[in-house]
Amino acid sequence: MATNFIIPDKIFLLIALLALLFFGLILYLTWKLSKAEKQKKMVEEKFRELEGKVGKLELETLESKLNPHLFKNILNSIQSHAYQTYFALDKLANVLDYILYESRRMFVTPRQEIDFALNLIEINKIKVSPLFELKIKARINESEPLYEQNLLAPLISVDLIENAFKHADLQSSDAFIAVTFEFKESIFSLTVANKISGKNPMKKEKSGIGSETLDQRLRIIYGNNFKLDRFIEGDVFIAHLKINLLEHKAKMLAARR
């Protein structure tokens, strides 16, 4: 009868040992998983840090291309119409202040960028005939909080405006340039349209820097929170830029957590 009680005890001890090994394995796997998760987070953080440095480096490189290109266009405009130099220099002073001080910041307010763009347009106006049709519209809800927040990349409007003056036939009687600024529901929009010149433009070896720079800057800064369309309707070229600043702000806040 005694042997009948020994077998259950051995089985019990075996089961207890197996259970102990099982729970030990679970604890070990949990510890390894936790360690792997921490390592994964460290790698992701290092990747984001490296990505940020690369993005900053790319932006600095792009800006170094953009600013001299902009200066050259502005000075050419002023030189071609010396009789309007005083007025142009007054506007140029505002543009230079913006480029030297505000454009060095990562972001400016939509108000600041729009004011800069309007000064840039005034400088370019000296290229055109007094009879040239230049239409400027602003549909802006200034009561929106994001209108005064630093969320818009500086100089983001330069390329679209400069291209309109570059490719329009400024001496044609039926030519035109139309620029529309919009800010509503936390979305910044810029639409630039111009009648395409019938003349064959001279191809320059280094042309297209501004357009390439704009596309790269938008992708680096705003990711999927922007849309840029360029298209032709008849003999009119239209460029439309739309940036959702609310979504961009939410993305920035999430990245800081």
Residue-level pLDDT at 5: 45
Residue 83 has what pLDDT? Answer: 52
Beta strands at 133-140 and 176-184: parallel, antiparallel or unpaired: parallel
Higher pLDDT, 87 or 138: 138
Greater pLDDT, 156 or 31: 156
Taking alpha carbons only, the member of 155, 94, 96, 167 closest to residue 127 is 167
Q: Which two tokens stand for residue 209?
A: 């820097």
pLDDT at 61 over 80: no
Q: Which two tokens stand for residue 159?
A: 């390329």
Q: Which of 24-38, 48-62, 130-144, 163-177 has the lowest mean pLDDT?
A: 48-62
pLDDT greater than 60 at residue 72: yes
pLDDT (0 to 100) of residue 204: 45
Give me the sheet containing 133-140, strands edge to edge. 133-140, 176-184, 187-195, 236-244, 226-233
pLDDT of residue 94: 81
Q: Is the pLDDT of residue 227 over 60?
A: yes
- Amino acid letter, residue 139: R
Residue 90 is predicted with a pLDDT of 72
Rounded CA-CA distance 218/241 in Å is 10
Q: Go through the chain and tell me how many residues it has.
A: 257
Per residue in 83-124, pLDDT (tens digit) is 555 666 677 778 878 877 777 788 999 999 999 999 989 888
According to DSSP, the residues that pair with 227 across neighbouring strands are: 242
Q: How confident is the model at residue 175 (pLDDT cuts 50, 70, 90)?
A: confident
Cα 82 to Cα 103: distance, rounded to the nearest angstrom: 28
Mean pLDDT of the 222-227 span: 94
Q: Return the H-helix or E-strand segment holding 193.
A: strand 187-195
For residue 39, pLDDT over 70 is answered with no
pLDDT for residue 247: 95
Structure tokens given for 254 = 């999430």
User: How many Å apart are CA 169 and CA 172, to the nearest integer?
Assistant: 6
Both tokens of 93, joined, read 């002073």
Between 131 and 65, the more confident residue is 131
Query: What is the mean pLDDT of the segment spanning 11-35?
Result: 70
Question: Ranked by mean pLDDT, which of 13-17, 106-110, 240-244 comes out on top?
Answer: 240-244
Q: Give the phi and the psi of residue 225 in degrees, each rounded to 5.
A: -95, 25
Q: Which residues of 67-92 are buried (b: 16+ CB within 10 A; e: fewer)?
A: bebbeebbeebbeeeeeeeeebeebb
Full-model pTM = 0.68
Residue 147 pLDDT > 90, yes or no?
yes
- Residue 200, pLDDT > 60, answer no
Contact 181, 117 (CB under 8 A): yes
At residue 55 the predicted structure's pLDDT band, cuts being 50, 70 and 90, is low
- Contact assessment for residue 253 and residue 146, using Cβ atoms and an 8 Å cutoff: no
Q: What is the pLDDT of residue 209?
A: 47
Residue 199 dihedral angles phi and psi, to the nearest 5°: -75, 145
Q: Which domains does the chain have, with CATH numbers?
A: 52-256 (3.30.565.10)
Instruction: For residues 202 and 200, give the distance between their C-alpha atoms in angstroms, rounded to a whole number.
Output: 6
